[in-house]
């Protein structure tokens, strides 16, 4: 017997949530092709009306579930009963069938104490010392929740996810993991499965995961992003400052379209402070973490061949929708 945990995104707005349920199957060999379509009650997830509530789960990614005996994690797309992609299905909008686009997402988040309604490391009656000592920190005075983060890293690696690193972030109780994939859909699949595992691990510690991009409001603490590092064959082999400039300029006329899918409440995070550009501006520059798009020094040193980093997507953004708009925009560049 195998336990297949079918995972999908609901229809909540402005930020979708993860949902999952378990299917028990016999004689399972561990392949995606063996995972049948399934259904769920869309009227309970803001994806259908009660009078016609069936929605279809179509498996698109599978990996081992290290936390369950004979378990597998199955990421699914949501389809309407008529077989068309549901409007909540951002993955279906990605135009990257040949996996020419590579993505590396830097996923930031806060470990959150439901009892105090503050991040781990924040005293119940006030605030810790100002940010500064927490980034890449070590020691009980500065690093909070490491046991959760380490367990999450181990579980992700055991599942076969391509996690490339973790670190404590600038604010107390804030952490980050990075995932890279040669293929936009696969990168999104892996981010969502990693988020799912983090949420589930938090349950056993009584700690929730706060994906909000600015959970501490206007206080002088960094927000959370999901920086999107991306490339395609053109960028990887450009050998041309002019081509990089043309691709960066292709984002200028579609700022509103990008911001629309870069995560809710981003105006609270993109203020021009705390290593962000203003949401009202668009800019790019070499090694500039205060720009909308950073041209990495790596790409310049490699003779203007490499990748770009869009620093605007926030921690709660859907990586599928982020990748979709980036791919569409890069393909529109006049080279």
| Rounded distance between C-alpha atoms, residue 101 and residue 85, angstroms | 22
Range list of H helices, the chain: 146-159, 184-205, 233-236, 241-250, 255-261, 266-269, 297-301, 319-331
* pLDDT tens digits for range 271-285: 988 778 899 999 999
Residue 334 has pLDDT above 80, yes or no: yes
Q: How many CB atoms lie within 10 A of CB 201?
A: 20
- In the DSSP assignment, the letter for residue 222 is -
Does 50 score more than 80 pLDDT?
no
Residues paired with residue 167 on neighbouring β-strands, in sequence order: 176
The pLDDT, as a whole number, for residue 285 is 96
- What pLDDT is attached to residue 126? 84
pLDDT of residue 199: 98
| Residue 203 to residue 143: CA distance in whole angstroms | 20
Mean pLDDT of 315-331: 98
Q: Tens digits of per-residue pLDDT, 71-105?
A: 999 999 999 999 999 999 999 999 998 999 999 99
Residue 19, H or E segment: strand 18-25
Read off the pLDDT of residues 134-183 as tens digits, 9 standing for 90 and up.
Answer: 999 999 999 999 999 999 999 999 999 999 999 999 999 999 999 999 99
For the stretch 63-72, pLDDT in tens is 999 999 999 9
The DSSP-derived string for 115-180 is TTTEETT--TTS--SPSSS-TT--STTT---HHHHHHHHHHHHHHT--EEEEEE-SSTTEEEEEEE
For 190-211, give the secondary structure using H, E and C: HHHHHHHHHHHHHHHHCCEEEC
Write down the residue that tokens 């579930």 correspond to.
Answer: 65
Q: How is the chain split into domains, by residue range? A: 2-89, 102-331
Mean predicted confidence (pLDDT) in 282-309 = 96
Q: Among 240, 210, 235, which residue's Cα sits nearest to residue 293?
A: 235
Query: Domain 2-89, what architecture?
Result: Roll (3.10)
Longest dimension (CA), the chain: 60
Instruction: Give the span between the Cα atoms of 74 and 292, in whole angstroms.
Output: 34
Q: Are 53 and 43 in contact (CB under 8 A)?
A: yes
Asked whether residue 307 carries a pLDDT value surpassing 80, the answer given is yes
Q: How confident is the model at residue 17 (pLDDT cuts 50, 70, 90)?
A: very high
Taking the C-alpha atoms of residue 89 and residue 78, their distance in angstroms, rounded to an integer, is 6
**Phi, psi for residue 115 in degrees, rounded to 5:** -75, -40
**CATH number for the domain running over 102-331:** 3.30.590.10
């Amino acid at each position: 017997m195998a336990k297949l945990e079918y995972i999908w995104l609901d229809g909540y707005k402005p930020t979708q949530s993860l949902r999952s349920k378990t299917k028990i199957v016999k004689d399972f060999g561990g392949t995606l092709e063996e995972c049948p379509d399934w259904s769920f009650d869309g009227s309970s997830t803001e994806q259908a009306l009660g009078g016609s509530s069936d929605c279809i789960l179509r498996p698109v990614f599978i990996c081992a579930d290290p936390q369950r005996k004979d378990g597998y994690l199955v990421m699914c797309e949501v389809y309407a009963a008529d077989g068309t992609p549901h409007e909540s299905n951002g993955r279906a909008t990605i135009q990257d069938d040949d996996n020419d686009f590579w993505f590396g997402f830097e996923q930031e988040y806060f470990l959150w104490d439901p009892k105090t309604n503050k991040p781990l490391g924040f005293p119940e009656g006030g605030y810790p010392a100002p940010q500064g000592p927490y980034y890449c920190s070590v020691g009980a005075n500065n690093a909070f929740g490491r046991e959760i983060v380490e367990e999450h890293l181990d579980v992700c690696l055991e599942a076969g996810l391509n996690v490339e690193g973790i670190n404590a972030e600038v604010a107390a109780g804030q952490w980050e993991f990075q995932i890279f994939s040669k293929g936009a859909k696969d990168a999104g699949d892996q981010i969502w499965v990693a988020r799912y595992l983090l949420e589930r691990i938090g349950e056993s510690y009584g700690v929730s995961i706060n994906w909000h991009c600015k959970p501490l409001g206007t206080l002088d603490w960094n927000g959370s992003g999901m920086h999107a590092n991306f490339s395609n064959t053109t960028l990887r082999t450009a050998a041309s400052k002019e081509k990089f400039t043309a691709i960066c300029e292709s984002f200028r006329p579609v700022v509103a379209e990008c911001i629309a899918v870069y995560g809710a409440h981003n105006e609270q995070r993109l203020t021009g402070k705390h290593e962000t550009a203003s949401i009202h501006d668009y800019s790019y520059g070499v090694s500039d973490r205060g720009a909308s798009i950073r041209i990495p020094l790596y790409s310049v040193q490699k003779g203007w061949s490499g990748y770009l980093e869009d620093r605007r997507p926030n921690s709660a953004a859907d990586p599928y929708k982020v990748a979709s708009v980036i791919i569409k925009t890069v393909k529109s560049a006049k080279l």
